[in-house]
Structure formats: structure tokens, C-alpha cells
Structure 1
Amino acid sequence: MADEIKNTENQELDWDSPISKDAGEFEIPPIGEYTFTVANLEKTMSKSGNKMADLTISLDVNGQAYVRHDYLVLTSNMAWKLASFFECIGLKEKGQELTHMPWDKVPGARGRCKIIHEDYNGRPTVRIDRYLPLTGSAPAQATAATAPANDMPFEV
């Protein structure tokens, strides 16, 4: 699918650069469990008109980033998946009610998930099968790097 991206070493091209490669096939990661980071969250609507979180998930596949989208529909029928996701990223404790969903803490959150392969229009694709519960301590939340106040990239 178009929302699958495998990041490898990326070199900048000029507007006039030649292109020697043919369109390639995406290499999909093997079925298994992977650590992920939520790269982006977009609040949107599903095709049926329900509120939906469009998550951009960056899977760590042997040191390479593999980007997938996953969709969390905000309905009572999907509460199990919402709970599983928030438990996975350390924002909900199993067996405890979550009084509100802390969407502002989702971008940059880390967790683990299991992926499977599915056939999509005759081609294999990756789907997040389930979010895995935390084991041990919560995954580290990604934070922005900070520089000392006097460390300016230019002279004042």
C-alpha cells in the first residue's frame, strides 16, 4: 500500500539529478514483534463518520524505520483496541479505568506491537495485529533535545 515506507540512507537529489533506479518493490518486515514510536497522530473521521485517530507508527526493524499507519476508531466496540494501545505505550494501567484518553502524550510514545502479513490487491502488506502489554517499566517517551541557553547556532 502507499502508506508503507522503508527508510534507508537518504541522499538529497538536485532538481536535475538523473534517476537510474526502476520502481522497486517494498520489502516488508517478517511477521513478529517490534518496538515502535508514534511518529504522528492525526485526529480525523472514519468513512462511517466516527472519530478516528490516524497513527503514523515507525517500527524499528533491525535498526531501519518502517512506517505504517494504524487507525483507532473511537467507538464502544473498539474500546478494547484503544485500551490495548494506551496500555502498550504506558498511559493506562491494566484493570484501571482511563478517565480520559491523553492524546497529547501519544506523539513520540514508544511501545511494542505484533505485525502480520495480509494480502491487499494480490500483494502482501503489513498490518499491526495487536499492541503488546508493557513488561517491566514503561517505554521511554521521546523528548526533544535541548541546548543550553548560551549555545546559539549564530552570534548575537
Structure 2
Amino acid sequence: MNNENEFLGWGDSFIAEESSFTLLPAGEYPFTVTGFERKIYDGNSTKIQNGTPYAEIEMEFTGAEGTTKVIDRLYMVKKWQWKLTQFFTGIGQAPIIGQPFAPNWGTVVGSRGRAKLVVNKYTSSKTGKENENNQIDEYLVPTANNGVVTQPQQPVQPTQSQQGGFQPGAF
């Protein structure tokens, strides 16, 4: 099993690799959720309050140019319920608008859907260099003919961030 987060020791050798980052042009692409982590926001923002719980969702998108990973944050705040609704609809857990909805977080990893990607241009705060990455503009409603929305066979348990004393079951 390949563990990308495995530590390397100072005296260890490692496999030399080039960066495999692929920038996809703006457009609609299929994705597979490859990771989900429960976290607590502790940054500096005028939009997000410190201590806000969020789900960090890692997705793999595939296009003609190759495959890329995109990470999206789903903040657990009422003003952004629209984005939670959009995400869960996009992966086949369609909430009924106006009704309470309890998402099945255990089946998020392995779920598939489609989303509209945009190319985000930014300046690196570390290097001052202009960079680009892909960001999610919108999760798309599944259609009968796109055939990408599926759920994994077995629920996958998310990893937990230890930040802020997060308690299991909080979302």
C-alpha cells in the first residue's frame, strides 16, 4: 500500500520524481472522491469564523490532458447549506429542497460525480510567483446518461484532524 504521508528519515533514500500536477482547462469533468477529512478552521478570514467545522474533500478529475487533484472545503455553516446541497446532489445523495437532510459521510470517499472546473490565478504568498490551479465552480446534478454517480460498496471511515479538540459525531 502506497502511503503518500509516510515520513522520510534524514538518512533515508527516496525515489526521485517530477511534479505530476496537471492543470485542466475550464470545463465540466468527471470526478471521484479520493479523500475526506473532518477539520476545524483556524485561519484568518473575514468570511469564515475561527472554530468553524468543515469537510476537506479531495477529488481526482480526469480530462483529455490528464488527471489532477482538487481539494474543496465544505464549511458546516447555515449560510453555505447551498454548497453542501450541491455537493451531495452531485454525488448521488440528493437532498429534497426544503427538507432536513442527514448526509451519509461514510460513503463520500469513492463517490463519483461531475463538476465544472475553473482555472484560478493567484500569487504565491511564499514565492511571489504567479500560479494557476483548478477550483470547483459548481457541482453538477447527475443525469441518467452521464453514468458517473456511484457509491462505494463499503462505507469508508474519514480521518480526523486533531485540531481544536474535534469531537466525533459533530457532523
TM-score, scaled to structure 2: 0.65
Partner amino acid, structure 2, of 1:44:
K
- Deviation track 1:128-153 (CA, whole Å, cap 9, x = no partner) reads 11100111267122447xxxxxxxxx
Partner amino acid, structure 2, of 1:141:
Q
More moved, 71-80 vs 57-66? 57-66
**What runs of 5+ residues in structure 2 fail to find an aligned partner?**
1-12, 43-49, 124-129, 155-171
Q: Equivalent residues in 2 for 1:1-156 (5 A)?
A: 15=13, 26-47=21-42, 48-62=50-64, 64-95=66-97, 97-121=99-123, 122-136=130-144, 139-143=149-153
CA–CA separation in structure 2 for the residues paired with 1:90 and 1:108: 12
CA–CA separation in structure 2 for the residues paired with 1:30 and 1:50: 32
CA–CA separation in structure 1 for the residues paired with 2:93 and 2:20: 37
Q: Using the aligned pairs only, state the percent identity.
A: 27
Distance 1:63 1:90, change over 3 A: farther
**What runs of 5+ residues in structure 1 fail to find an aligned partner?**
1-14, 145-156
Partner amino acid, structure 2, of 1:32:
G
CA–CA separation in structure 2 for the residues paired with 1:33 and 1:125: 15
Partner amino acid, structure 2, of 1:111:
G
RMSD: 2.6
CA–CA separation in structure 2 for the residues paired with 1:16 and 1:94: 50
CA–CA separation in structure 2 for the residues paired with 1:32 and 1:113: 8
| Aligned structure 1 segments of 4 or more residues deviating by more than 4 angstroms | none
**RCO comparison, higher one (Cα < 8 Å, 6+):** 2
Aligned residues between the structures: 128
What's the secondary structure of 2:119's corresponding residue?
A: strand
Partner amino acid, structure 1, of 2:136:
I
CA–CA separation in structure 2 for the residues paired with 1:16 and 1:53: 32
TM-score, scaled to structure 1: 0.71
CA–CA separation in structure 2 for the residues paired with 1:38 and 1:98: 24
Higher CA-based Rg:
1
